[in-house]
Chain A
Amino acid sequence: MDAYLKAFWLPKEGCTEEEYEDAFFPRNVSSLTGERLRFAVADGATEASFSKLWARLLVRAFVRRSLTLPFTLDELKPLQEQWAEAVHGKELAWYAEVKVASGAFSSLLGLELTENSATDATERQWRAVACGDSCLVQISADQILRSFPLSESAAFTSRPNLLSSLAGAEVDETGLVAECTGTWTADDQFFLMTDALACWFLKQSEFGKKPWSLLKEVETGGQTSFGDFVAELRTNGELKNDDVTLMKIELLPSTPGWD
């Protein structure tokens, strides 16, 4: 299959690009070809320190298959060590030391798309894992087919579970990481979003609108046009002032589909 990728991101209004604490991977790639492709977005928690680094470590590890699908918290250990090494290698002020001691937190949403043409009928599947409130939405035939892990805008109000950069920080592993599977067909689109945009997206569809069509108009104008679009939503109070990340994946099967 060929996957065509567009990514857009923005820090909170009033913050610099340096202060953007979401992460996504792959970066700076517009198309990928393969039988098994992975994508990920993550949202580093603002209250903690060094969350940006933690979010980046998570998305890269997932996409480079250092994490299985679904993964266990034990698999995060090497990443937690990398985080600790990077953070403790620095000369820290007393207040930064206090922050580091409580660890960094991040959501993670990982998507794997597969196309298996070994059998008679080509199987086109997807699997996803999620911890926290970063979401994926699958659009098929101009409709929302699936939304994961949250499926309605009202679900964004609670404080999400997040992955900690400290081993053993999670008290209860049960239900921390959710998993989902599905199938895809030619011309399907996947939108991977961090919480603010995902909440807006689902709310629009609850109002009977098609946010994916709106975003299509915006994306032709590139990052600048995306920036204007987000600024307007924030001004109108439609979008929470938070870091925003959107990764859109369009798919083209390598063989004409029978399905």
Chain B
Amino acid sequence: MATIKKSPSYWKMVWRQYRRNHLATWGLVFIAFLIVMALGAPWIATNKPLWCNASGSYCLKAPIPYTPTQYNLDESLMPPNRHHWLGTDEQGRDVAARMVFGSRISLAVGVVAVGIYVAIGILLGALAGYYGGWVDQVVSRAIEIMICFPTFFLILTLLAFLGPSIYNIMIIIGLTSWTGIARLVRGEFLKLKNQDFVQAAIALGASDSRVIFRHMLPNALAPVLVSATFGVAAAILIESGLSFLGFGVPPHIPSWGSILSQSQEFMDIAWWLTLVPGAAIFITITVYNIVGEGLRDAIDPRLKV
């Protein structure tokens, strides 16, 4: 009675549970590292000095003192060495610099595409689950129709019409991948709709949008977050695949998929060109999946709420 401390909220309890999973916690650290790398790319990989003293006698060089498009044909296809940590490609461009800039594409595609489809999925799923009836029929049929298309080929087809561009990739992934989230949210809403606290909110005189967004959505968000984490991994993979096939970003802009794509011709003489982007994609996807699973486990064992 004496001390009344503010009780831990649901998400604090989820975090406490999540922290117990060391692998997932390190996964989160790795994702944070990727984000810092993507955001800081112009300062990490540049041939301009970061800082010089007043007389210009001493300059602080960037960690990777090359830009991703800076070519030097004298240094083409060099294996990893003191100057080029991850070697160079056929035009003598530094692979490390290209990888750092490539991570921006992966991150942007992952975040924006997933953001678009999570928003669409939540809205349609919530409406279908809350209102039922013909609204549910329309949304459910739309989901079934979307699922019928193999997403990757649908994306390829649409890109062929719209032209390859990173923005088109984001929008198309966003517009085609919302079905999973919509089904998830619809299911959660069907479950929540009959719970007493939702009925209580309706009986209280709360408007539909208030019931949907203030009362039901916060209780349906946890599985969406898990799914979105897996979704980021899937979106990165799709972007890499598209870039590999040449439908992604224009060739001069580095992305992990396009670096991998260009490595094909030199696979037998320049192993690093294949290994580095391949490993980066593999590790990133794995880490996102580990984080997603950790999150799911932290939410799933019915926390005492």
A and B from one assembly?
A: no
